[in-house]
Structure 1
Amino acid sequence: MNVLRIQLHQLIEQMTDDELQLAWSTVYGLHCDDQVLKAIQEAKRSQQPWDTLTHEEAILFLEGREKSRDKDI
């Protein structure tokens, strides 16, 4: 891994400012995508069948909240 760091550093030293900006944008975008993918994978691993609602259950839940809100007014 240390050799890879040295090679990457040498490559960076050879780049122009414009190339550095493009490389940064690309690498940072990949980093962010990787973080989102890891979060999605973790959510899938930890999600249980009862953690989500079907479309019908969601409608009933929202209708119940709406009726409850109307009572309070």
Structure 2
Amino acid sequence: RMDGVAATRAIRALAGPAAQTPIIALTANADPEDAAAYIAAGMIGVVEKPMKPENLLRALQQALEGSTARAA
């Protein structure tokens, strides 16, 4: 019963490797302020809905490479 930001903060607060789980926001709320809040909460990328497959692929590639960036 928590939103994605609260869930991300809870995961980041875990001990051990679970805290490093890559988390990407998939949201219709992707204006710059919202995206900045998702990244500040510990997410590593943001993909806007309606989702374009190439944007999701880019976010997944960035997650696997370990970079933090907004996908689109």
State the TM-score, normalizing by the size of structure 1. Answer: 0.28
Q: Which has the higher helix share?
A: 1
The structure showing larger relative contact order (alpha-carbon pairs under 8 Å, at least 6 residues apart) is: 2
Q: Which has the higher strand share?
A: 2
Q: Which has the larger radius of gyration?
A: 1
State the TM-score, normalizing by the size of structure 2. Answer: 0.29
